[in-house]
Chain A
Amino acid sequence: MTSDRATGEAAGEQDTSRQPDVDPGRAAPATEPLITETRIAGQLRSRTPALAGLAVLIAVFALFPLVFTNPTVTTIAVVTLIFVAVASAWNLFSGFSGYLSLGHAVFYGTGAYFLVVAAKDWNLNGTAVFWLLPLAGAVAALLAVPLGLVALRVRRHTFVVITIAFFFIAQLSASNLTVTGGSSGLLAPVPNWAPATYNNPFYYVGLLLAVAAVALSVLIRRSRFGLQLRAIRDDEDRAAGLGVRAMPVKLGALVLSAFITGMAGGLWVYFIGQAVPQFVFDPLFDLAVVLMAFFGGLGTIAGPVLGALILEPTQQYLYLQQSNGYESEILFGALFLVVILFLPRGVLPTAGEWLTPARLGRLRAAWPGRRADRIAQPVQRSKPPAAGSTS
């Protein structure tokens, strides 16, 4: 939410585009006053605490593996950071553009297989393998160009279904091609690091990747490119009419997203040590990433990060608790339904909606006016909090 406000301050004309972020179209009657008062609310808050908070957060993440040395904990942490990167990357394409991709596992898997094959062919091991990650990302990004050129010609449902089809083609290819080792898969190189701190290099590379993904999202969101993406999400035809060259913009976002996803896939496969088709191209992966973004808040910066930080450890924990996979599958599906039915716009926007009245209470003391009540009432479908909404 902080970055939302910052965007709003940075350029006045972005305020209108911020609106659909909350809910496209529905809040139309309240547009004018809402803009003004949102801006005031934004200006009342200083940016320094947010930056300090960010610095503390990064410091906490950097110190985490030094404090918690239990291998089980750090293993979960590494996978979680990888998912933070992937969820952010998915969000910077799907969340910003509105084109829901259920085929990001294609890029993840491409990066993973590239890393394993390249490390084997070039005889790399240890930290040298990490230098392959940008290459793995580049290969995935390269693959995104033809896929995007085909898939981005269609919208809505058809786009989603095509991404699913690409996913199945990729899975089928991986289990039948010789370069991927067929259905038995390939083994990644095993670095000879000390067992006690074995996870740490993966952790820090994962942290770097996650920070890079979030930073890229912030940059895109604040840029003209990000505005164009969100214009496409709101109304592609109108955006095109206003001069947005939709195809290059969409494709650009997909390529950037695939780049990060491919790097994450490479890191993941190096970490777990083997590439097997049904795990590298896993339908649950696609769904997990989408759930993380939806859970936190689609199209926001912090949403996918929060979603990954909450859901991935939960899933890993459940997985470790139960020897069978189906329990976690049922729980995962149920959680997904709960999020969709009760928090359709994600935790962050909903929480923001609930917090707004409280914040506005303070605001209204300094700024008396009837209009403040209108903002206090959530315009959306989600239920207003039981107490304190308008009193």
Chain B
Amino acid sequence: MASEISQAIAAGILGGGVYALMAAGLTLIFGVLDIINVAQGIFVVLGAYLSYVLSVHLHLDLLLGLLITVPAMFVIGLVVYWLFIRPLRGAERTSMTLLACFAVALIIEGVLYREFGSGYVSLNAWYTTASVHLFDFYLADIYLIGFGLAVVAIVALYLILYRTTFGRAVRATMQNQVAARLIGIDVTRVSALTFAIGTAVTAIGGMVYGAISGGFTPNSGYDLISRLLAIVILAGMGSIGGALATAVLMTTVEALVDIWQPDWAVAVFYLAMVIILTVRPAGLFGRRAVRAQ
């Protein structure tokens, strides 16, 4: 029992790193563009399928494949932004962009069904089957690699946001879009790049998710997006640090509940969200108004 619990905690924390990365992308997009990218879940699945194609057909190592899938997802993000998000303006923008993302998600899901069918596929490499012996339990190497990748990506994201001119422009846009425009920031360019970066991280997320989840289908996007939305709402929309902490916390709690109640473990996310929001509508780490409108 004790080993089960410690294993659940380890898997929860390490697996939470990937969710933290995906949630960071989602909350970054929300913070800058003020839209909820409900397509984030299917982007992750798309990233996983891209890795799958590269590893099965080109026999490319999963980690090396990231060198291709990350730029590919970046470009996909740019295209989606340019075609479907940028033209939407005006008072109904909030709901319109959300629905547009939903529609994009549907199309991607349909295309994935068409190409790959509804069967489960999983990503395999030597490090998805090999495991390390930690204290009194075994853990697949991919958990450690995935966590490491997530940490690297999050640090890179942090450096971009806090150590570059572009990052300063992003943060200025998050704080006040009108003021950012007034001091000469090209808000459209910042938005496009932010959306693309937020999408690009799903390539890494998708690869790790595909390897640790034990199998995914085009339908997995719904499961992912519901967890990710719960994480960013719980954390408080637009709070990147909060999203990281909440992601790790929630996946750990889920892994623990999973020991006793495997069927209901996912409900932990939603229940926590409902409870927190009744007490604190702005979320755990959110301020009352994330962005003054």
Contact = CB atoms under 8 A, between A and B. Distances in A.
A25 to B, nearest CB: 6
Interface string A15-27: 0000000011110
Contacts of B91: 23-26
Interface of B: 30, 35-36, 38, 84, 87-92, 94-96, 98-100, 102-107, 109-111, 113-114, 222, 226, 229-230, 233, 237, 263-264, 266-267, 269-271, 273-274, 277-278, 281
Contacts of A164: 38, 226, 229
- Chain A interface size band reads 35 or more
B34 to A, nearest CB: 8
B222 A176 contact: no
A284 B110 CA distance: 12
A31 interface: no
A298 B90 CA distance: 15
18 contacts: A26-B90, A153-B278, A154-B281, A158-B237, A158-B277, A161-B233, A165-B269, A169-B267, A169-B270, A326-B109, A326-B111, A326-B113, A330-B110, A332-B106, A336-B103, A340-B88, A341-B88, A381-B89
Contact of B277 (A150, A329, A341): A150
A34 interface: no
Contacts of A166: 270
B267 A162 contact: no
A172 interface: yes
B99 A340 contact: yes
B226 A162 contact: no
Nearest to A328: B110
Contact of B88 (A26, A157, A290, A344): A344
B281 A158 contact: yes
B98 A333 contact: no
Contacts of A329: 106-107, 109-110, 113
Contacts of B230: 165
Contact of B264 (A172, A324, A344): A172
Given A25-B91, A172-B267, A333-B104, 20 more contacts: A100-B98, A102-B102, A153-B278, A156-B94, A158-B233, A158-B237, A160-B98, A161-B233, A169-B267, A172-B270, A176-B263, A283-B222, A326-B114, A333-B110, A334-B107, A337-B100, A337-B107, A340-B100, A344-B88, A344-B92
B110 to A, nearest CB: 4
Contacts of A290: 99
Interface string A255-290: 000000000000000000000000000011001001
Contacts of A334: 103, 107
Interface in A273-312: 283-284, 287, 290-291, 294, 298
B36 A161 contact: yes
Contacts of A283: 222
A345 B111 CA distance: 28
8 A-B pairs with the lowest CB-CB distances in the bound complex, closest first: A333-B106, A330-B110, A329-B110, A333-B107, A336-B103, A326-B113, A326-B110, A333-B103
Contact of B110 (A156, A327, A341): A327
Contacts of A49: none
Contact of B229 (A23, A100, A161, A337): A161
A198 interface: no
Interface string A337-365: 10011001100000000000000000000
A325 interface: yes
Contacts of B237: 157-158
B274 A165 contact: yes
Contact of A287 (B90, B102, B110, B114): B102
Nearest to B218: A326
